[in-house]
Structure 1
Amino acid sequence: MRRLFIFLLIINYIANVAYFFARYEIEVPLWLYHLLSLSIGMSFIVMLSSVATIVLRYLLLIPFSRNRRKSVKKMAALGGSVFMVGYSSAAIYEGHLFPQVESVQLTIKNLKQPLKAVQLSDLHIGGLIGESYVRQLVESVNRLQADIIFLTGDMTDSPIHQIATSVALLGDMQSRLGIYYVLGNHEFFHGVSDALGAMQSAGIRSLLNDCAVVDGLINVVGVSDLFGAKLGMPPDLDKALEGVDSSLPTILLAHQPRFVKEFVAQQNAPIDLVLSGHTHGGQIAPFSILVRMQQGFLKGLYSVNERTQLYVNRGTGFWGPPMRLMSRAEITLLELKPS
């Protein structure tokens, strides 16, 4: 049993390495890419299963004499294996579910009329997320009849020349007030200028430390991602706020929610609602614990201060393995109402 486990670990490790080559360096058949991507999630689940086995082993040893410990250890190993199979099966099942529509009702001060907004985030176009998925997503969004659409980063995750058709499909989303987009960290991995150019070609407005006053109703402010600071494109909230109409409510698009604690809350910025993504809601529980520790927020709605609310989208796609657990992908429907 131990030799088999070690052998499987080695195979999984090799698959991990192969996945990153297939993701960023070479093209492989889609079925092979799918299998390689699952190895990333399996690494995390194997780690959890190993911990569960060790804990179970020591718990079961307590009431037994030494001559029965060998059989108890086998029971613990079997229990860990069952846990691993069940856990991974549940994660694969949830990871393959299409994003659910998450309806959120918010009251916004100084809003002149009700607005219906859709937020998409962390779609990660590329790899397993291609034209078919994006086309189905566009159809789902259009059925919601949104007034305005927000894309909060990590929408692309491959060189644009490989996914140009899929990205162009995003321009088929319909809303009377337009589509607004900000960069995530993954756009920096494959060429920021190409990502921005593709969005512009699709009729989507990018906000790079910039502001749009939309139809005399709201200010939409967007900042670069925190990762951009490493590449000379840092977020600049002061610059982004320069063009706002102070009589209107302000919505900030910032990919990483920790931007709120580092900039918005500290500066007491005049912002009514922040929309973020990045966390994937942890994607596979209990990885969510580490994500919350690093970001300060995980998923859903938060009250930052008396004026500012924050909504963190769980992600409309996935990164790495098509696996999720206790964090299903979402399309956020924001029903904004005057206070």
Structure 2
Amino acid sequence: MLRRVLILVVVLVALFFLPWWTLFSSHTDWPLPVVLTGTVVFAAALLAFPFLMVMGHGRRRSDRAARVADTTLGVIWVLFAWSVPGALLRLVLMVSGVGDPARSRIVAVAVAVVGAGLLAWGYREAMRLPRIVRRDVTLPRLGRGLDGTRVVVVADTHYGPFDRAGWSARVADAVNELDADVVCHAGDIADGTPEQRREQAAPLGTMRSRLAKVYVTGNHEYGSEAQGWLDLMEGLGWETLHNRHVVVERGGDRLVLAGVDDMTAASSGLAGHRANLDGALAGTEPDLPVLLVAHQPKYVREAASAGIDLQISGHTHGGQIWPFHYLVRLDQPVVHGLSRHGERTQLYTSRGSGYWGPPFRIFAPSEITLLTLRSA
């Protein structure tokens, strides 16, 4: 525990120190009131941030505290990330013969302007209706009767401290306009309990499909009453694929829709919750094609071993805020898009429809995905 606390302190200090140094120190020679004001703001934010995170995302679940903490995290991450290329700009200016304080002031203003612009744009991207991403996916075992099956994927809605009930309703309308045969929610519905987020999640009940609406848990459900979310989704008319499957049929051909709990379920302490692919496929005919919904892309290792035809996942958010996708790639095999794993298995990883935590999306646009399944 002490080691974790020390690591957290070091990371936080680094996140806040580099932007402060870039903007207000590093030989900028700003007037003293400017430096003092900037220093006080950064110091106050650094000291308040851990407490606000605990109040917002701990047992109290204060939405007001969470909004401030999450926004602070996004702002400081963007300023930190762009302070790094700011150091390269400093080097270029130095080679070009630009001396201090002009050199350091140019870097400070550039980082501030780029950061502010990206944050404004990123907020708009986070709050907008997700773009529709269309992909054809050929499944060699898919029968001709199911050729053209339209699968709409929603993932990572993350209903949370920023009230997005209106956004949720617009997402449902957009899904319904796509005239889906199957709708999948690939997990991470919300940050909070079903009681807290019921109003924001309610529009999920208005989504329509011809054959099935299926849902699996994500890792965030296991921090906020996973079984309650399963019960709520059943009440909204969804098939909850809690390590189980359903079979859909069209034109005389059949497709297995299977789902597993998130990979974090086993450590949640909830009885009967764990990712269990054998249980999800129990009783299926081995020759039928299988579409598996599993929240995390890295579950594709198990899917490929079992000969799954297509896995649908979310979780990564496409990185959400550049350059975070490099860190995501350390944990997951894919950040976004369609990929192949083994001889048979394909994986589609959605960037997600909402956002987690900081209300920003920078170079990682949200999406509602329309996958059109094609037979060989």
TM-score, length-scaled by structure 1: 0.90
Q: Secondary structure at the match of 2:227?
A: helix
Which residue is 1:48 aligned to?
81
Which of 88, 91, 96 is 2:122 aligned to?
91
Contact 2:79 2:111 in 1 (8 A): no
**Paired residue for 2:336, among 299, 309, 316?**
299
1:264 to 292, 299, 303: 303
Q: Where does residue 286 of structure 2 map in the other structure?
A: 246
Q: Does residue 1:62 correspond to 2:102, yes or no?
A: no
Paired residue secondary structure (2:159): coil
How big is the shift at 1:219?
0.5
Partners of 1:90 and 1:325 within 8 A in 2: yes
Q: Return the alpha-carbon distance in structure 2 between the equivalents of residues 87 and 22 of structure 1.
A: 25
Residue 334 of structure 1: aligned partner: 371
Q: Report if the CA contact (8 A) 1:117-1:148 is conserved.
A: yes
Deviation (angstroms), 1:247: 2.6
Task: Determine the C-alpha separation between the residues in 2 that align with 1:187 and 1:43.
Answer: 27
Higher deviation after alignment, 14-23 or 183-192: 14-23
Structure 1 stretch displaced more, 210-219 or 151-160: 210-219
Question: How many angstroms apart in 2 are the aligned matches of 1:325 and 1:286?
Answer: 9
Secondary structure at the counterpart of residue 284 of structure 2: coil
Among candidates 319, 322, 325, match of residue 285 of structure 1 = 322
For 1:28 and 1:111, locate their aligned partners in 2 and report how far apart those are by CA, in whole Å: 46
Q: Which moved more, 1:149-158 or 1:168-177?
A: 168-177
How far is 1:336 from its partner?
A: 0.8
Tell me which amino acid in the other structure corresponds to 1:78: V
- Alpha-carbon distance change, 73 to 334 in structure 1, aligned in 2, over 3 angstroms: same
Point out the more displaced range, 108-117 or 325-334. 108-117
CA distance in 2, matches of 1:48, 1:141: 35
Distance 1:130 1:213, change over 3 A: same
Residue 160 of structure 2 aligns to a residue in which SS? coil
Q: 2:355: which partner in 1?
A: 318
The change in CA–CA distance for 1:6 and 1:175 in structure 2 (over 3 A counts) is: same
Task: Decide whether the 8 Å contact of 2:303 with 2:311 is kept in 1.
Answer: no
Q: Which residue of 1 aligns with 2:104?
A: 73
Instruction: Confirm whether residue 175 of structure 1 aligns to residue 214 of structure 2.
Output: no
Provide the residue aligned with 1:137 in structure 2.
171
Displacement of 1:246: 2.0
* Aligned mates of 2:221, 2:325 — CA distance in 1: 23
Offset at residue 171 of structure 1 (A): 1.7
Deviation track 1:117-160 (CA, whole Å, cap 9, x = no partner) reads 11100001232243212111111111111011111100122111
Question: Could you say if the C-alpha distance between residues 296 and 28 of structure 1 is closer, same or farther in structure 2, counting changes exceeding 3 Å?
Answer: closer
Per-residue deviation, 1:186: 0.3
1:220–1:251 CA contact under 8 A, matched in 2? yes
Aligned-partner Cα distance in 1 for 2:206–2:248? 20
The answer to whether the Cα contact below 8 Å between 2:52 and 2:68 also exists between their aligned partners in 1 is no
Whether the 8 Å contact between 2:127 and 2:167 is mirrored in structure 1 is no
Q: How high is the TM-score relative to the length of structure 2?
A: 0.82
C-alpha root-mean-square deviation of aligned residues, in Å?
2.1
Contact kept, 8 Å, 1:94 with 1:325, in 2: the verdict is yes
Aligned partner of residue 363 in structure 2, secondary structure: coil
Q: Which amino acid aligns with 1:329?
A: S
For residues 281-337 of structure 1, give each alpha carbon's deviation from its aligned partner in whole angstroms, at most 9, with x where no partner exists: 000111111111211210111111221111001011111122111211111111112
Q: Tell me: CA distance 1:165–1:96, structure 2 relative to 1, closer, same or farther (3 Å).
A: closer
**Mapped partners of 1:197, 1:124: distance in 2:** 17
Counterpart for residue 30 of structure 2 = none
1:6 Cα deviation after fit: 2.6
Cα distance, 1:166–1:64 mapped onto 2, change above 3 Å: closer
Matches within 5 A, 1:13-28: 13=46, 14-15=48-49, 17-24=51-58, 25-27=60-62
Q: Among residues 163, 169, 184, which one is paired with 1:150 in the alignment? A: 184
Identity across the alignment (%): 32
Q: Corresponding residue for 2:194?
A: 160
- For 2:161, the aligned partner's letter is G
Distance across 2 between alignment mates of 1:28 and 1:143: 32
SS of 2:123 mapped into structure 1:
helix
> Number of residue pairs matched?
332
Paired AA for residue 132 in structure 1: G
Deviations 1:44-84 (A, max 9, x none): 1121132233332233223538xx33332222222222222
Most deviating of 233-242 and 52-61: 52-61
Correspondences of 1:197-216 after superposition (within 5 Å): 197-215=231-249
Partner of 1:37: 70
Distance 1:171 1:272, change over 3 A: same
Counterpart-to-counterpart distance in 1, 2:104 and 2:268: 52
Separation in 1 of the partners of 2:131 and 2:96? 47
CA contact (8 A) 2:150 2:181 kept: yes
Unaligned runs of 5+ in 2: 1-23, 26-34
Unaligned runs of 5+ in 1: none
